[in-house]
Amino acid sequence: MEIIWVLMGFALLAAMTVSYARARRGGGIRQVAPGSPDAADPANYGFDRQEDLDIRIPGPDNDLMDALDNVRRTGQWQAASQLLAGTPKEGEQRWQRVQAFGGAAALELVQQPGVGAQWLKAWRLEAEKDAGGAQVHAELLVQQAWRASGGVGSADHRIILEEAREACRKAALLSPGDPVPYITELAVARGLAYSEAEFDELWAKVIDRAPQHMGAHLAALHYWCEKWHGSREKADAFSHAAAARAPQGSLLAALPLFALYENLPDVILTGGFYQSAVVTRAVEGALYAVHTARQDDPMLAHVRHLLLLFLVNMERWAEAMEQVRHVDGYVGALPWSASEDPAAQYAIYRALAVAGYEANGGSPATLPH
């Protein structure tokens, strides 16, 4: 996925909105008529230009960006290894960083088939017992499987997932107590359609090591949504149970919003859907989670990105702008990452948030900094 040209003007929003409504889980964007489109310019708020939005990560992580740039520039793996070795096993950040390195390797292989990601190959050959390298390799295989020619359910998809499962289990042996290999295997469980008994056994290994891990719960939610496609019952039960058990300050209170998003219909025909009680409850739970969580929680940006989609469609402009204020510059998260052009999709919602905010009396001067 490449970042496209420059931020489109507000006059083009209607055409862009129609295009986006056809995208996966677009949610039926509401158009607004705030008056002069020239008055609704995200640049007036100091927001990043569309071509400068970072599609790799959901929020800032300077150490990760430095390591990724070093790996890309030098072709050497040591900076990545050192960063992961210094990242605590039990936190969300290690899982995110493993995903980022695996994604970088996958992108290189797409761009340069057969010759990309030589640094990861060297990492595995030269440091076979390095737990970080093993985890990144497993993540790479998972990402390759979901990009496999023939698509989900194809022979290539299944073969690569079988290889990924073995890589996850080897990585787990190298780092006892680390939940990341088991979280990565949750994506394998989804693709290989583990039975509920198999999944429960895997899930027990995850929660024994990291019972409040938000990323793990999101990965598990994808399994339930895939297994019970067309029925929200299992996914809703899983998300609400996790939210109910969540301690004060945990972002798991936002999990029902992710379950709702995963089960959104491709086309929403009911005008009042985003004002319904089920949407309101999920959004209020996510807002509560955001307001009570640690502001340095690595998963906080994920929740804010998803809230932006819902708050814009609910026409809650000031709250939508609050999310933009916190996440602007980074779009490597749902819902944007589900599209072919995350930066463009995010830019549409950001522009709508700005337009709605100004139509209701807001301005750069009234937005908190």
Q: Residues 6 or more apart from 226 whose CB is under 8 A from it?
A: 190, 193
Shared domain for 187 and 154, answered yes or no, is yes
Domains in the chain, number: 2
For position 84, which CATH number holds?
1.25.40
Local confidence band at 13 (pLDDT 50, 70, 90 cut-offs): very low
> In angstroms, rounded to a whole number, what is the distance separating the alpha carbons of residues 84 and 127?
14
Residues 127 and 30 in one domain: no
In this structure, the answer to whether residues 4 and 117 fall within a common structural domain is no
Q: Do both 178 and 70 map to the same domain?
A: yes
Task: Kindly tell me if the per-residue pLDDT of 137 is higher than 80.
Answer: yes
Same domain flag for 178 and 194: yes
Amino acid at 196: E
Name every residue whose Cβ is closer than 8 Å to that of residue 82 and which is 6 or more positions away in sequence: 67
Band of residue 269 on the pLDDT scale cut at 50, 70, 90 = low
Q: Which of 227, 257, 273 is the endpoint of a domain?
A: 227
Angle separating helix axes 214-227 and 180-191, nearest 10 degrees: 10
Tally Cβ neighbours within 10 Å of residue 270.
Answer: 10
Per the prediction, the chain carries an average pLDDT of 86
Q: Do 44 and 104 fall into the same domain?
A: no
Same domain, 113 and 24: no
196 and 280, same domain (yes or no) = no
What type of residue sits at position 357? Y
Choose one of 162, 195, 227: the last residue of a domain.
227
Q: What pLDDT, on the 0 to 100 scale, is given for residue 270? A: 61
The domain containing residue 275 runs over which residues? Answer: 1-61+233-369
Domain end among 175, 197, 227: 227
pLDDT given at position 267: 61
**For residue 254, what pLDDT band results from cuts at 50, 70 and 90?**
very high
164-167 own/partner pairs: CB under 8 Å, 24+ apart: 164/138, 164/188, 165/192, 167/134, 167/137, 167/138, 167/141
* pLDDT score of 11 more than 80: no
Question: Which residue, among 342, 275, 332, has the nearest Cα to 61 in the 3D structure?
Answer: 332
pLDDT of res. 147: 77
35 and 111 together in one domain: no
Q: Tell me, yes or no, whether 266 and 248 share the same domain.
A: yes
263 and 361 inside one domain: yes
Give the predicted TM-score (pTM) of the model.
Answer: 0.85
Q: Are residues 214 and 241 in the same domain?
A: no
Say how far apart CA 241 and CA 222 lie, in whole Å.
Answer: 16
Q: Write down the pLDDT at residue 33.
A: 44
Residue with tokens 């394998």: 188
